Copies of this chain bind each other. A is one copy, B any other.
Amino acid sequence: STPNYESLDYEVCENTLFQDEQREQLAERFSLRKDIIRWIIFIQIGIITALIACSIDIIIEELSELKYQFLIKSVQENVPLSDATEGDLVIPYLYWLLFSILPVAFGAAMVTYIEPITAGSGIPQVKSYLNGVKIPRIVRIKTLAVKAIGVITSVVGGLAGGKEGPMIHAGAVVAAGISQGKSTTFVKDFRIFKAFRDDHEKRDFVLGGGAAGVSAAFGAPIGGMLFSLEEAASFWNQNLIWRTLVASIISVFTLNIVLSAYHGLNDFTFTGLFNLGKFDQPLKFDYFELPIFMILGVSGGLLGAAWNSLNTKINKFRKRFIPWKIGKVIEAVVVAIMGVTLACLMIYFINDCRPLGNDPTNNPVQLFCEDNEYNAVAALWFQTPEATVRSLFHDPPGSHKILTLALFTVVYYVLSCATFGLNVSLGVFIPTALVGAAWGRLLAMVTFYFFPQAEFLHPGKYALIGAAANLGGVLRMTISLSVILMETTGVESSFFFPLIIALISAKWVGDYFNEGIYDTQIQVNHVPMLTWEPLPQYKGLTAQKILSSPVVCIKLRDSAHYIYQMLKKCEHNGFPVVDNVEGNRRSEGRVCGIILRSQLIVILLKSLYVENKRFWLPETSIQTFRDLYPRYPSIKSVRKLDEKINYTVDLSMFMNPSPVRVNPHDSVPRIFQIFRALGLRHLLVINNENRIAGIITRRDFIYK
């Protein structure tokens, strides 16, 4: 029952119709116009993605503020203010439960009943899409709406998750939507510009959208661009990258305008774009700290790998024992209740009072503390996870007890592990950074406790390194992650080195045990993603070993009947076109091209037969095929052929005449490189006489 994912057609089919169009367009300077429109779309993607990200951001901020203000007031009413170190937390606890259960239940229900694909962070899905796998419904507007509401409800509900994954997904949806000028959700075709209606163009736009999304989520334009590259690009196309960078920068700029205005600043001076907080002073470090950073990295790798494997186990358990929809909603609620309860217990039992004054928390809670003191435990819990990361980075030394932080780390580690995989929309970046920041800071505090002369143990610095290590251990996206961290905390370039050390060690140690969390999710879902290098077990093989044969082929001129029957019988999406066939032994013919199932269906649907050529030839163009994109009807929607059963199809003007061909003795690493670099869907294996010997698709590199 594993879903049968299909691939995108990134390869451009250069058939006669396409060439005709090209020739026409060459005359009317069409490509310049197309280029300009493409730029405009990329700019729009940047702006709209940022606006959506802003809205999500602001709504979350406002609602969370309301919620925590209310809770604080309730605490203050129920716990006598001064001189009381005892009091009743039951009422606030109940309120807290209420304000967690309501949004979480609502969000989980939306996700479960309306659009299950919106569960999780969305990054694995976008990543798969950019890799060339068609994920159904992933770039629809409905998906975007559910995702946005989902992420707002879950963050406001207090689940251990962040908003960044969904924002990236949002960017992808925006890109697909704008570039296609057509929405399936609203069954509306804006009929503006159709030249971008193919998988190739769409995927390029989605690349830009993803980048804009990352940029908006982190205020990190270069990191955004690199994220898209790291996750997606196979061929380095300079113009595409440049457009992506511009979309990212515009996205960050828009974010800045809106947030500046929202915070009542002029001059676009809102610096909150460093959304993990800018360090006041340049972070310094000493030679002898480098090994410590490396140890932190190794710990990050170990903890991350453990987190990944635990999370995978939990999710397997879930899949098996909670198949019902209502069960998934209840489960989300249970985790929310668990979170609130653990937090309350911590607040109740740990007595960690700190003097008011230079504390950086927005909502100091006095709770069980003297006047002029605030409760450090409550301060950790009474805000969004993102704000807590900021606190851990920037709170002055001595802002927490060791016990507080130790318990917090453990609780959050478990909570985040239980949360990722729930049927809610949530990213994993922020909780991972939070856990890392917590244990990084904790380590510095513990060490400082034993060696009070070690002044280099700046807790904020170690929180940052810990966050990097933990992120490296869980996500393993090294390039973009390092740049995002640099941009999002605004550290000086001299501090890049410690960050990189932590990241590398974490990645290497983690890779020894398992894969990054996104890749794990992709594998669990049996998405046929192509890795960067061929899988190790394929390294010594030749094409011969992985090809499929006999191949279902079509003759250059074949009967409508055969095509119809063949399409009904098999599920493949690409068929070599052959000539020089003896009798019916098509699968030994000589290759002239390749044709896609979708094209064949259009041919049958529109009756593009040789016998009635004069009717359709004048008005048939590449547009005939593009009109039905992206949801070509299935063969079932083609009525029985009856009277046309003996008609003939001549594929020479429809097929792709230049499929990429390799030999049976070519090594798999080599053909893999060709497959990936050119973004292919089908690779034909031919013998020395150009006769078909087999066919290779994405799956054959993974499951054979």
Confirm or deny: A483 has a beta carbon within 8 angstroms of a beta carbon on chain B: yes
Query: Shortest Cβ distance from A127 into chain B, in angstroms?
Result: 13
Classify chain A's interface size: 35 or more
In the bound assembly, the distance between CA atoms of A704 and B14 in angstroms comes to 22
Q: Which of A494, A532, A661: most chain B CB closer than 10 A?
A: A494
In the bound assembly, the distance between CA atoms of A690 and B19 in angstroms comes to 24
24 A–B contacts from the bound complex (CB under 8 Å): A12-B670, A220-B493, A221-B496, A222-B483, A229-B241, A233-B236, A234-B235, A235-B677, A238-B479, A242-B479, A246-B500, A252-B497, A253-B496, A268-B285, A268-B494, A271-B282, A487-B493, A590-B688, A657-B663, A657-B666, A658-B666, A677-B678, A686-B690, A689-B689
B658→A592 contact, CB < 8 A: no
Q: Of the candidates B237, B282, B678, which one forms a contact with A532 in the assembled complex, judged by CB atoms under 8 Å apart?
A: B237
Contacts of A183-224 to chain B: CB distance below 8 A: 219-222
- Indicate with 1 or 0, residue by residue over A565-602, a CB within 8 angstroms of chain B CB atoms: 00000000000000000000000001010000000000
Confirm or deny: A249 has a beta carbon within 8 angstroms of a beta carbon on chain B: yes
Collect the chain B residues with CB atoms within 8 Å of residue A229's CB. 236, 241
In the bound assembly, the distance between CA atoms of A354 and B665 in angstroms comes to 78
Contacts of A456-502 to chain B: CB distance below 8 A: 478-479, 482-483, 486-487, 490, 492-494, 496-497, 500
Collect the chain B residues with CB atoms within 8 Å of residue A221's CB. 493, 496
- Indicate with 1 or 0, residue by residue over A249-276, a CB within 8 angstroms of chain B CB atoms: 1101100100000000011111101100
In the bound assembly, the distance between CA atoms of A235 and B234 in angstroms comes to 6
Collect the chain B residues with CB atoms within 8 Å of residue A267's CB. 284-286
Confirm or deny: A358 has a beta carbon within 8 angstroms of a beta carbon on chain B: no
Collect the chain B residues with CB atoms within 8 Å of residue A274's CB. 493
Collect the chain B residues with CB atoms within 8 Å of residue A269's CB. 282, 284, 494
Query: Shortest Cβ distance from A640 into chain B, in angstroms?
Result: 35
In the bound assembly, the distance between CA atoms of A478 and B244 in angstroms comes to 12
Confirm or deny: A404 has a beta carbon within 8 angstroms of a beta carbon on chain B: no
Confirm or deny: A504 has a beta carbon within 8 angstroms of a beta carbon on chain B: yes
Confirm or deny: A326 has a beta carbon within 8 angstroms of a beta carbon on chain B: no
Query: Shortest Cβ distance from A340 into chain B, in angstroms?
Result: 36
Query: Shortest Cβ distance from A503 into chain B, in angstroms?
Result: 10
Complex: chain B residue closest to A593, CB-CB: B663
Confirm or deny: A76 has a beta carbon within 8 angstroms of a beta carbon on chain B: no
Complex: chain B residue closest to A667, CB-CB: B14
Complex: chain B residue closest to A12, CB-CB: B670
Contacts of A681-704 to chain B: CB distance below 8 A: 686, 688-690
Confirm or deny: A4 has a beta carbon within 8 angstroms of a beta carbon on chain B: no
Give this chain's copy count.
2
Complex: chain B residue closest to A23, CB-CB: B540
B479→A245 contact, CB < 8 A: yes
- Indicate with 1 or 0, residue by residue over A358-379, a CB within 8 angstroms of chain B CB atoms: 0000000000000000000000
* 12 extra A-B contacts, CB within 8 A, seeds A252-B494, A268-B494, A269-B282: A221-B496, A222-B483, A237-B532, A239-B532, A242-B478, A245-B479, A245-B500, A268-B284, A274-B493, A657-B666, A674-B678, A689-B690
Confirm or deny: A662 has a beta carbon within 8 angstroms of a beta carbon on chain B: yes
In the bound assembly, the distance between CA atoms of A2 and B427 in angstroms comes to 58
A661→B658 contact, CB < 8 A: no
Query: Shortest Cβ distance from A37 into chain B, in angstroms?
Result: 16
Query: Shortest Cβ distance from A510 into chain B, in angstroms?
Result: 15
Complex: chain B residue closest to A496, CB-CB: B249
B678→A673 contact, CB < 8 A: yes
Q: Of the candidates B14, B504, B657, B688, which one forms a contact with A690 in the assembled complex, judged by CB atoms under 8 Å apart?
A: B688
Collect the chain B residues with CB atoms within 8 Å of residue A493's CB. 219-221, 252, 256, 273-274, 487
Complex: chain B residue closest to A226, CB-CB: B222
- Indicate with 1 or 0, residue by residue over A268-299, a CB within 8 angstroms of chain B CB atoms: 11110110000000101110000000000000
Q: Which of A500, A658, A660, A665: most chain B CB closer than 10 A?
A: A658
Q: Of the candidates B241, B284, B487, B673, which one forms a contact with A235 in the assembled complex, judged by CB atoms under 8 Å apart?
A: B673
Q: Of the candidates B230, B236, B239, B533, which one forms a contact with A234 in the assembled complex, judged by CB atoms under 8 Å apart?
A: B236
A235→B238 contact, CB < 8 A: no
Query: Shortest Cβ distance from A34 into chain B, in angstroms?
Result: 13
Query: What 10 pairs across the A-B complex have the smallest Cβ distances?
Result: A253-B497, A267-B284, A658-B666, A690-B690, A236-B236, A677-B677, A256-B494, A238-B532, A233-B236, A249-B496
In the bound assembly, the distance between CA atoms of A478 and B492 in angstroms comes to 23
B26→A540 contact, CB < 8 A: yes
In the bound assembly, the distance between CA atoms of A173 and B533 in angstroms comes to 28
Collect the chain B residues with CB atoms within 8 Å of residue A325's CB. none
Collect the chain B residues with CB atoms within 8 Å of residue A660's CB. 674
Confirm or deny: A22 has a beta carbon within 8 angstroms of a beta carbon on chain B: yes
**With contacts A219-B493, A222-B483, A496-B253 known, is A658 near B670, CB below 8 A?**
yes
Q: Of the candidates B22, B239, B252, B282, which one forms a contact with A496 in the assembled complex, judged by CB atoms under 8 Å apart?
A: B252
Q: Of the candidates B268, B482, B490, B658, which one forms a contact with A245 in the assembled complex, judged by CB atoms under 8 Å apart?
A: B482
A235→B235 contact, CB < 8 A: yes
Q: Of the candidates B250, B478, B497, which one forms a contact with A250 in the assembled complex, judged by CB atoms under 8 Å apart?
A: B497
In the bound assembly, the distance between CA atoms of A601 and B246 in angstroms comes to 50
Confirm or deny: A316 has a beta carbon within 8 angstroms of a beta carbon on chain B: no
Confirm or deny: A526 has a beta carbon within 8 angstroms of a beta carbon on chain B: no
Confirm or deny: A545 has a beta carbon within 8 angstroms of a beta carbon on chain B: no
Collect the chain B residues with CB atoms within 8 Å of residue A592's CB. 688
In the bound assembly, the distance between CA atoms of A273 and B284 in angstroms comes to 15
Query: Shortest Cβ distance from A487 into chain B, in angstroms?
Result: 7
Complex: chain B residue closest to A661, CB-CB: B661
Confirm or deny: A539 has a beta carbon within 8 angstroms of a beta carbon on chain B: yes
In the bound assembly, the distance between CA atoms of A239 and B689 in angstroms comes to 37
Contacts of A91-150 to chain B: CB distance below 8 A: none
Query: Shortest Cβ distance from A418 into chain B, in angstroms?
Result: 31
Collect the chain B residues with CB atoms within 8 Å of residue A494's CB. 252-253, 256, 268-271, 273
In the bound assembly, the distance between CA atoms of A271 and B590 in angstroms comes to 66
Complex: chain B residue closest to A39, CB-CB: B504
Collect the chain B residues with CB atoms within 8 Å of residue A689's CB. 590, 689-690
Collect the chain B residues with CB atoms within 8 Å of residue A256's CB. 493-494
Query: Shortest Cβ distance from A421 into chain B, in angstroms?
Result: 26
Query: Shortest Cβ distance from A65 into chain B, in angstroms?
Result: 24
Contacts of A1-32 to chain B: CB distance below 8 A: 12, 14, 19, 22-23, 26
